[in-house]
Structure 1
Amino acid sequence: MTPIEALFQILREEGVDRIFGNPGTTELPLIDALAGNPDFEYLLALQELSAVSMADGYARATRRPSFVNLHVAAGVANGLIGLLNASRSRTPMVVTAGQQDRRHRLQDPMLSGDLVGLASAAVKHAYEVQHAYDLPTALRRAFALATQPPTGPVFLSIPMDLLAEQTSVQVPGRSTVAPFAAAEVADATEILKNARNPVIVAGDGVGRDDAVDELVAVAEALDAHVYHQPMNDGVNFPGNHPLFAGPLTPTNAAIRAALSPYDVVLIVGCHAFMPHHYTPGSPIPDGATVVQLDTDAAEIGRNFAVRAGLVGGLAPSLAAIAELLPSSQPKPHKAQAAIEVAKADAPIDPLTAVRAIVAALPKDVVVVEEAITAGVHLRQVLRQDRPRSYVHTIGGGLGWGVGAAIGTKLGAPDRPVVAVLGDGCTMFGLQGLWSAARYAVPVTFVVINNGEYRTLKETLDRDKSRSTQLGEYTGLTLGGLDWTTAAAFFGIPSVRVADTDELRAAIRRDGPLLVDVPVTSHRRQ
């Protein structure tokens, strides 16, 4: 078969049914071959960040690697923000980009560039295919690498003339690797059994690897409180479980304070602790014993000493630990109290707005969150039990939320999807609204409109050592933005709410819909 036929066969065997991208001249062999091909739907994005973000949400929702196609050096550069997010969130995807024709690469033609060099810092592995007979092996290897711990994006640069070749190539078979239980769980379990007051930190690997039930069994057997890792990307422990203690605050000092009452800390599937703002010292309290379990051997003891480090699949390893612990009666879940929201007129206090949103969320909703300051309030109020009901990226590259919400809905069409977005974040990924309109993706986009970079103002105010004068901020104010106008330009229905009653009613409407929520701006104390 030809190289393009081999590419399609491998995509089918790897479970790919959608291709996310923004094409250019170097992608024309792929675009031409897709015409009339019923096996794949091409999802067009107007900017590469939107394409990668859509693929990110889709991979998480479908639990299989997604496939993205970008355009030469400029397209790879535009997609880097999404690739950095995917790497931090460990989202498996294979990303290709069309390279210039090899027959005149030596002449440094327009659009050519070092694609591998550009992508390398943002992906697990990057490689440029030079021979048609290497393409099937390189592509099969890319899917394998994307799904091996630590999971993440893998990049391939493919010259446009290579895909157009009629050379006969062979397709290697597909391998399947099942997760295995970590060795030596007995010693780690003894440490946990002998703990006076154990605690568990649930990292995003737990939800990503479908190990929530097994972690609940371990927590209940130990009667241990469970914290989410700081700024968690998903549901890693049921939010309504009586042992759930909430998310850790992303500073070493705050984590150390939260963990100080405990003598043994079990850390599961957590990439270090990823603090945000610097505070001195270790996140682990003095004298505390650490047991760490991860699929990635590089995580064990990476930033702090561990007494027992386990490497293996999270679900089978936790199941093995639970079997060695004394049996216990499952503790009943406590129901989340109904959220009372008094009517408030715009601009609404951010916490009040978040409470109104949560009170109106439909059953079995997936919440996609990219709202920096409002997101902190959302984590205080929102309690979800089902894994993959909350989607966030710890990568920090703004503009992810719109595309991720679209990809999430495409990957989970039977579940309602509500995206809670900051106005600054939305501005970075605004082009994604076009794709939502083009493909009639029924997402509700809720834009928390404070007209500023509020988190930066709050950070300045917390740091009393800064000399910024009272009332002075530089480059941190956006001004009044009418998001209904932006929605209309892209063909998305919208509503600007005047109070919390209108906000709750808007959340209950069918999408696609953009909800503009004016909230109060930050004021110095």
Structure 2
Amino acid sequence: MLTILREEGVTRVFGNPGTTELPFLDALVGEPDIEYVLGVHEGSVVAMADGYARATGRPAFVSLHIAAGLANGLSGLLNASRSRTPMVVTAGQQDRRHLAQDPMLSGNLVGLARSAVKETFDVQHARDLPVMLRRAFRLAVLPPAGPVFLSVPMDLLAEQPDVSLFDAPIAAQPTATGVASATSILARARHPAIVAGDGVGREGGVEALVAIAEAIGAVVYHQPMHDGIDFPMRHDLYAGALPPINAEIRNTLAPHDLVLIVGCHAFMPHHYSPGPAIAPGTRVVQIDSDPTEIGRNFAVELGLVGTIEPTLRGIAELLQELQPDTGQRCAELRERHLSQRAAAETVALKAYGPAPLDPEAAAHAVASALPGDAVVVEEAITTGVLLRRFLRLERPRSLVHTVGGGLGFGIGAAVGTALGDPGRPVVAVLGDGCAMFGLQGLWSAARYGVPVTFVVMNNGEYRTLKDTLDGWDSRATHAGHYPGLDLGPLDFTAAAAFFGIDARRVGHTDELVDLITGAPDRSRPMLIDVPILGHG
């Protein structure tokens, strides 16, 4: 097992151990090239592995403890599945010699994991472990990428049988066919739009997509609730993220005669609205490395399946030869977007002042003070939506988020991101409710000394649910009462102190700017408690 992990590039194991993992822990003794990264709750463990996999571009390896530990990690595995994060996850099953007696801690691990992961393996023979483990690493990265689970009995790990190890390198997927046809359609568009999905960022296609957008003069939108940087947020053609509601997506895209959709998982609407996201009759060109995405939820005129980066690069090169005349369109879009951004900045700056901070001002303060090479881990729900209005991130892997929606992701993901890419400052922007779900991750932040700046937007409530209830429909009769939606006063500086982490509670927007500006100079974690205005 350790030999295969080394060959797969694993240098860290993320885990929380129990009795059924003891043979594995014993094997790690005297193996300094594989570090065991401890989390004190499995939710934090999986979130750390998620952030680490994204930062390194390699599958993360996770060790969970039997049925209960796996159950604690399921939310993180659902997030990883939705976000297409590759990881190989194991859990130790009870000793097979008394499994029929239903011993303590045992359970149907494969059945428990099946709905949250891409594939499962129930290892029953030591001779099968090399085959299944190697297969798990392969499946984790094949489109659509995601977590793969193996149940490994405790007594099996202690065996010493003769086994055959093998390797089977995977050739890269080919460039999609149909590049010339797609180029021809794009070159003739008069009002094109591009939807940049997270597959673009994951597969290194940002630069090529920029070249296409500039060549055809397209407005570019991020997919709803995007998990990464799939198009530079500072670019003149960038118009922000699409909202996660079909009716609003349809209205936004209605003025365009052609929509190019790349690496996007079916838009994934959040709140229901009648009708499709794409109006019938809209011309759509779709590109994805996952063949099941083509035409999944809407009609497509031309669908291309293949590795995203070389496919986009092929289209960009053909467009360069054609040189469509789009200068005027690009200039108009630039003027429009710069004006919209300036107006938003003006409103936010006017709201600067003493605590409790205006949420929009707080979001602007964080975005404006970010170091140029920072990675932003965002799990702030309502304030996170505001934050994205002001972010001007350009470098791939500069934004970490999960569209999976399982709360408690942010703290652990920030720790894993810092471990995986220690040369970049990491700023985690968290809602107070989200932080409460993943607070145990601060223990790992302190233990491993990662210089993450944790920013908790503290309004003492589940603001997004109040806003949604207010706008739900005319039958809502809550009359200003919100059962179960208030957290009350929370002092996150006290929570940070418990874990041994430095903390500050800001009293003014300018103070928040100063603290974020200092992120690159930190050598240990710090938590910033930001009181913001609540529902009012």
Normalising by the residue count of structure 2, what TM-score does the alignment of the two structures yield? Answer: 0.94
Report the alpha carbon displacement of residue 469 of structure 1 after superposing the two structures with TM.
3.3
- How many residues end up aligned between the 2 structures? 517
Matched with 2:180 is 186
Matched with 1:358 is 367
Report the alpha carbon displacement of residue 339 of structure 1 after superposing the two structures with TM.
5.9
Matched with 2:505 is 496
Letter in 1 for 2:416: G
Report the alpha carbon displacement of residue 507 of structure 1 after superposing the two structures with TM.
1.8
Return the alpha-carbon distance in structure 2 between the equivalents of residues 490 and 466 of structure 1: 45
Give SS of 1:275's match: coil
Letter in 2 for 1:438: R
Return the alpha-carbon distance in structure 1 between the equivalents of residues 157 and 127 of structure 2: 11
Matched with 1:4 is none
Matched with 1:392 is 401
Matched with 1:275 is 269
Give SS of 1:286's match: coil
CA shift digits 1:229-273 (9 cap, x unpaired)? 001101100111111111001101110111011111110000001
Query: Gaps (5+ residues) in structure 2?
Result: none
Matched with 2:81 is 87
The question of 1:215 aligning with 2:202 is answered no
Matched with 2:420 is 411
Matched with 1:521 is 534
Give SS of 2:165's match: coil
Out of 80-89 and 455-464, give the one that drifted further: 455-464
Report the alpha carbon displacement of residue 504 of structure 1 after superposing the two structures with TM.
1.6
Letter in 1 for 2:529: D
Q: CA RMSD in A?
A: 1.7
Return the alpha-carbon distance in structure 2 between the equivalents of residues 305 and 500 of structure 1: 47
Letter in 2 for 1:90: R
Q: 1:143 aligns with which of 113, 137, 162?
A: 137
Letter in 1 for 2:445: A
Return the alpha-carbon distance in structure 2 between the equivalents of residues 111 and 286 of structure 1: 53
Which runs of structure 2 are paired with 1:334-483 in the superposition (5 Å)? Answer: 341=349, 343-483=352-492
Out of 194-203 and 113-122, give the one that drifted further: 194-203
Q: 2:118 aligns with which of 97, 116, 124?
A: 124
Normalising by the residue count of structure 1, what TM-score does the alignment of the two structures yield? Answer: 0.96
- Assess, with a 3 A threshold, how the Cα gap between structure 1 residues 195 and 339 changes in structure 2: closer, same or farther: closer
- Report if aligned partners of 2:368, 2:390 keep a CA contact under 8 Å in 1: no
The question of 1:505 aligning with 2:505 is answered no
Which runs of structure 2 are paired with 1:2-401 in the superposition (5 Å)? Answer: 7-325=1-319, 326-327=322-323, 341=349, 343-401=352-410
- Report if aligned partners of 2:470, 2:476 keep a CA contact under 8 Å in 1: no
Give SS of 1:138's match: helix
Return the alpha-carbon distance in structure 2 between the equivalents of residues 489 and 33 of structure 1: 33
Letter in 2 for 1:327: Q
- Report if aligned partners of 2:83, 2:402 keep a CA contact under 8 Å in 1: yes
Report the alpha carbon displacement of residue 386 of structure 1 after superposing the two structures with TM.
0.6
- Report if aligned partners of 1:179, 1:316 keep a CA contact under 8 Å in 2: no
Give SS of 2:135's match: helix
Report the alpha carbon displacement of residue 62 of structure 1 after superposing the two structures with TM.
0.3
Query: Gaps (5+ residues) in structure 1?
Result: 1-6
- Report if aligned partners of 2:469, 2:476 keep a CA contact under 8 Å in 1: no
Report the alpha carbon displacement of residue 362 of structure 1 after superposing the two structures with TM.
1.7
Report the alpha carbon displacement of residue 327 of structure 1 after superposing the two structures with TM.
3.3
Letter in 1 for 2:408: G
- Report if aligned partners of 1:484, 1:514 keep a CA contact under 8 Å in 2: yes
Give SS of 2:116's match: coil
Give SS of 2:304's match: strand
CA shift digits 1:23-60 (9 cap, x unpaired)? 00000001111112111111000000100000000000
Give SS of 1:302's match: coil
Letter in 1 for 2:454: F
Give SS of 1:121's match: helix
The 4+ residue runs of structure 1 with deviation greater than 3 A are 327-343
